[in-house]
Structure 1
C-alpha cells in the first residue's frame, strides 16, 4: 500500500501449489485443511502462527502477513484441480503484476470479494489518516522526525476481513428476519394454515439455525483469541518482523478491535436466537392446533362408530325378522308395533352404553394426568423441604462451632 495514495498491489496467482503456499508463508502442512476452499463446512477459526494469521470462514479463506494478505478462492473444477486454489495477494505496493505459468496472458479481473476487501483496507487507512490529522496525533521515529501513527497492515487486513464477514452475516440476518416476520404475519392473518406456509416455516427455521451457528462460531473464534495473551502478542506481525519485542498485555488496540467485532457477532447471534424463538413459538402453537383438531376428529370418529354400532344392533333384530322363514309373527296384527320399539330400544341402549364408556374413558384419562401432575408437584415440594431442612441444619452446626470456639 502506498501511504500517500492508499493504492495497493493486487496479484492474481492461479493454481498455487500447497507446498509453495507453505514455503512462502511459513505455515505448517497441518494448517492446509483450514485453508482448503473445497471444504465448505469448516467452522470459523482465527489461527495465529509465527509470521502469519490464518483467517477461515465458509466464504473467505485468507493468510494475513505483515505486508500482504492472501485470499484463497476455488476455481471451477474444469479450470483448477482441488489441490491448487487461486489466490489473490493484496500488498502495500502500488504496482500491479500477474503471475501465471511462464507467460503473461491478460489478467482476469478480481472477484467482488477481493475488490470489496481491498476497498475496505483503503478506506480504513484513509479514515485513520483523517482522524490522525484532525486530532493531531504524532509519534517519534528513529530518524528523529514526527509522523502520524498508523495501524499495522495486518490489523487493517484483519479488520477488513472481519468487516466483510460480519457485513455478509448482517445482510443474511436482515433477510432471515424479514422472512420470519412476513411468514408469521401471513400465518396470523390467514384462517387456514396452508401446506406451503408449513414448508416455508421449516425452511426459514433451518436457515435461521445455520445463521445462528455461523454467528456463534465466529464469536467463539474471536473469544478464543482474546483469551490467549500470547497469541495476541504474536499477532503483531510487523513488530515481530522488525525485531520489536512486546510485553504480554501490551495489546490494547488489538483487544479493542476484536472486542468490537465480538459485540457485533453477539448481537447478530442474539437476533438469530430471537428469530428461532419466534419460529419455535409459532411451531408450538401450530402443534397445539393440530393436536386439538386431531382430538376432535378422533372424538367424532368414535361417536360415529358408537352410532354405527347402535344401528347395527337394531339391524340384527330387523334382519332376523326379515329372513324368509316362518316364525308365526307374519299374520300377527300388532307384531309391527312391538318390533319397531324393541329395535329402537336396543339401538338406544347400545348408543347410551357407548357414550357412557367414552365419557368414563375421558374422565379416567384426565384423572390420571391430574394425579401425575399432582405427584410431580408433591415430589418437588418434598425436595424443596429437604433442601431447606439441610440448609438450616448446616447453619445450626456452624453456629454451634462458632459458640464452642468463643468459649474455648
Structure 2
C-alpha cells in the first residue's frame, strides 16, 4: 500500500507556479496544500496503527514562486510553507501581502540599480510647508513626466544641467534656475536643494504670496503662475543684490588704481572682475531663456490651459468646453507675457550693468598693463645705458692691463707717459660711450 501511493508532498515540491499574487487560484492552491498535508498526516497515522513496519513520511517544504502583476511594478516574492502554515508571518487575506518586499520598479530590479529617492520640500497652494522623501517613479506618475524631464532638475546632475530652463508639461512646470530646482503642479510645488540660498530665497518669496491676508481682496493668480513669478523674482533679485554690493567696490578700485599699484589692490581687482564675469554669464543665460519663452507662444499657451478643460490645436488655437475658461486663458496669456517682459527688462538691466562694470574693469586692466609696460621700458633703457658704459670702461681697463704687464716698453722711463695713457683711456671711454649712444638712438633702440 505504501509503495502504490506516493506522498502528496513530492508532487508539489518540484513545481514552480507562476500565478498573480492576489488571484483566487493562488489562494485556492494554498488551501489545497494545507488540506493535502493534513490528509497525509491522518493517512500516516492510520498506516502506523495498522502496520507497525510502516512509518509516516514527513512532508517536505513546498516552495512557490509568485510574480506580482499589480500596477506597473513587476517584482518577485518567495513564499515558503513552514510547519505552522504561516507564510512569512504575513496575512494574505487583505490583498496586500508581500507589498513591502516587492521592489517599486521592475527595471531597477532587473538591472540591479537602486531607484533614487529625493528629499524635497513640498509647498501646497494653501501655504502648508512640509519635508518629504519621494522616489523617482512616484514623481513621474504624480506630474505626468518622463525620465528625461526629471534629468533637467535632478540635483545630482548639476554638471550637465547647469543652464537655466523652464519646461512646460501637461500637468507640471519644471524650473531650473541655478541653485533653485523645482517642479510646480496645480496644488503643490516640490523644491530640490531647499537648503541652498536659491531654495531658501524662493520659499521666502513664495510663502507671503500664498498668505490670504496679503491678497487685499484682489483677484489671485493661479498657483502655478505664482510659483513661476516667485522663482523669477527671487533669482533676479539675488543677481541685483550681488551687483549692488559689487558696484561700489569696483568704482572705488577704479578711482584708486591709477595712483596705487599694489599687489593687494590688483588681487582685489582680479576677484571683482571674476565675479562680474560670473554675474554677466548668469544674467545673460537667464535673459536668453526668457527671450526663448516669449518667442514661443505655444509654451505660453500650454501654461494657460494647464488645469483647465482646454486643448491646443495644431495651429496653437485654444478650444475650451466652457467659453468663460477660454476668455480667462486668453487674459492669463497676456498677463504671462507682461510678467515675462517685466522680468526680462530687469534681467537685461542687470546684465547690461554687469557688462559695463566689466568693461570698465577691463579698460583699467589694460591701462595698468600699459603703465607697467612703460615702466619696464624705462628700466630696460637704464639697464642698456649702464651696459654701454660698462663696455667703454672695460676697453679702458684693457689698455691699462696691457701696460700693467711686466714687459719692457721703455715708456715707463718717461713721466709724461703715465698721464698721457690715463687721459687717453678716459677720453676714449667717453667718446666710445657717446658713439654707442648715438648709434642706439639712430636705430631707435633707446
Give the alignment's TM-score, normalised by structure 1: 0.69
- Count of equivalent residues: 302
For the Cα contact (< 8 Å) 1:26–1:52, is it kept in 2?
A: yes
- Distance in 2, matches of 1:208 and 1:200, equals 12
Q: Which has the higher helix share?
A: 1
SS at match of 1:331: coil
Q: Which moves more between the two structures, 340-349 or 286-295? A: 340-349
- Distance in 1, matches of 2:372 and 2:217, equals 60
Deviation at residue 361 of structure 1 after TM alignment = 2.1
Aligned counterpart, 1:223:
291
Matched, 1:24 2:134: no
Deviation at residue 47 of structure 1 after TM alignment = 1.5
Matches within 5 A, 1:302-381: 302-362=384-444
Aligned counterpart, 1:211:
279
Deviation at residue 19 of structure 1 after TM alignment = 2.6
Higher relative contact order (CA 8 A, sep 6+): 1
Deviation at residue 44 of structure 1 after TM alignment = 1.2
Q: Measured at CA, do residues 120 and 184 of structure 1 come closer, stay the same or move farther in structure 2, by a change above 3 Å? A: farther
Query: Which of 52, 58, 62 pairs up with 2:178?
Result: 58
- Distance in 2, matches of 1:261 and 1:74, equals 23
Aligned counterpart, 2:38:
none
Deviation at residue 114 of structure 1 after TM alignment = 5.4
Aligned counterpart, 2:309:
243
Aligned counterpart, 1:88:
none
Q: Give CA deviations for 1:140-194 in whole Å, capped at 9, x if unaligned.
A: xxxxxxxxx4321111111111111111111111122122123223324xx4310
Aligned counterpart, 1:400:
none
Q: What residue ranges of structure 2 are gaps of 5+ in the alignment? A: 1-124, 319-328
Q: Give CA deviations for 1:55-86 in whole Å, capped at 9, x if unaligned.
A: 1112200111122211111779xxxxxxxxxx
For the Cα contact (< 8 Å) 1:71–1:114, is it kept in 2?
A: no
- Distance in 1, matches of 2:378 and 2:411, equals 45
Deviation at residue 272 of structure 1 after TM alignment = 0.3
- Distance in 2, matches of 1:115 and 1:75, equals 10
- Distance in 2, matches of 1:122 and 1:240, equals 19
- Distance in 2, matches of 1:18 and 1:311, equals 86
Aligned counterpart, 2:356:
274
Q: Measured at CA, do residues 241 and 7 of structure 1 come closer, stay the same or move farther in structure 2, by a change above 3 Å? A: closer
Aligned counterpart, 1:157:
227
For the Cα contact (< 8 Å) 1:313–1:350, is it kept in 2?
A: no
Aligned counterpart, 1:34:
152
SS at match of 1:176: helix
Aligned counterpart, 2:191:
71
- Distance in 2, matches of 1:222 and 1:8, equals 27
For the Cα contact (< 8 Å) 2:180–2:202, is it kept in 1?
A: no
Aligned counterpart, 2:242:
172
- Distance in 2, matches of 1:119 and 1:167, equals 16
Q: Measured at CA, do residues 337 and 164 of structure 1 come closer, stay the same or move farther in structure 2, by a change above 3 Å? A: same
Deviation at residue 327 of structure 1 after TM alignment = 1.8
Matched, 1:45 2:200: no
- Distance in 2, matches of 1:211 and 1:40, equals 18
- Distance in 1, matches of 2:269 and 2:336, equals 41
- Distance in 1, matches of 2:151 and 2:194, equals 14
- Distance in 1, matches of 2:400 and 2:361, equals 57
Deviation at residue 198 of structure 1 after TM alignment = 1.0
For the Cα contact (< 8 Å) 2:175–2:183, is it kept in 1?
A: yes
Q: Give CA deviations for 1:316-343 in whole Å, capped at 9, x if unaligned.
A: 1011111222221111121012111211
- Distance in 2, matches of 1:183 and 1:39, equals 38
> Max radius of gyration: which structure?
2
Q: Measured at CA, do residues 280 and 126 of structure 1 come closer, stay the same or move farther in structure 2, by a change above 3 Å? A: farther
Q: Once superposed, what is the RMSD of the aligned Cα atoms? A: 2.4
SS at match of 2:129: strand
For the Cα contact (< 8 Å) 2:174–2:183, is it kept in 1?
A: yes
Deviation at residue 210 of structure 1 after TM alignment = 0.2
Deviation at residue 253 of structure 1 after TM alignment = 0.8
- Distance in 2, matches of 1:329 and 1:174, equals 85
Moved over 6 A (4+): none
